[in-house]
Chains A and B, each alone.
Chain A
Amino acid sequence: MTARVQTAPFDLAAELRDFGAGAGAVVTFTGLVRDDTGQMAALEIEHYPEMTERALSDFGAAAAQRFDLADWRIVHRHGRIEIGDQIMMVATAARHRRAAFDAAGYLMDWLKSRAPFWKREIARDGSATWVQAKAGDEDALSRW
């Protein structure tokens, strides 16, 4: 039951070692940097250090209560991240798959529009563009 924010890459296999002992189902989601324009060099992620880990921990605790999770983990990177590299992961562990899947979806929907991260796309020519929030991200929250 941990939330971490870091610049370093993470190792999904290492994260899952000893994760969710005794649970019947573990679900993980990993977000990667994708290049929709064909012009991107990397992503830069800014965050609000004094707030971020507590906000992530609050989301995790809420998911644990709502879906009766045996364990949960959130790892989110910040700083410069190259195309194809990992941005973040969530893992959820529960007795049965339904709760583990739902809790992972719940955490992702909250992370998308309520965790204090801001993405900026760095193009190969050096120009930078802040990523706009999508209306759909806000709508996704309403299903919970």
Chain B
Amino acid sequence: MALEVLYFAWLRERVGHPRETVTTDAATVRDLVAQLAASTPGHAAAFDDLATLRCAVDQKLTDLDAPLSGAREVAFFPPMTGG
């Protein structure tokens, strides 16, 4: 499947671009992270600390074990600092 993958804040800086289309068979967000982290040194740096990684699938906050079946958009970012 083709997924739109978005990056924010310092993940975006490390990856080097704000979004990309990724072809993947990943079953979960965690599987997708493993695939992405292996793709370039920038991606590896972006995903070097899974404890501080936050994600959203189709614009809903979720966790690394969320399934990707039927998903169109996955976003990765550090802990949020709103307010």
Contacts and interface: CB of A to CB of B under 8 A. Distances in A.
Interface stretch (A48-56, A63-71, A91-99): A48-56
Contact of A116 (B56, B73, B83): B56
A115 B82 contact: yes
Contacts of A118: 8-9, 77-78, 80-81
Interface magnitude class on chain A:
20 to 34
A80 interface: no
A119 B77 CA distance: 12
Contacts, number: 69
B56 A119 contact: no
A31 B81 CA distance: 13
Contacts of A46: 8-9
A48 B81 contact: no
Contacts of A113: 79-80, 82
11 contacts: A31-B83, A46-B8, A48-B6, A48-B56, A51-B59, A111-B83, A113-B79, A113-B82, A118-B8, A118-B77, A130-B78
Interface of A: 31, 46-48, 50-51, 54-55, 76, 87-88, 108, 111-120, 130-133, 138
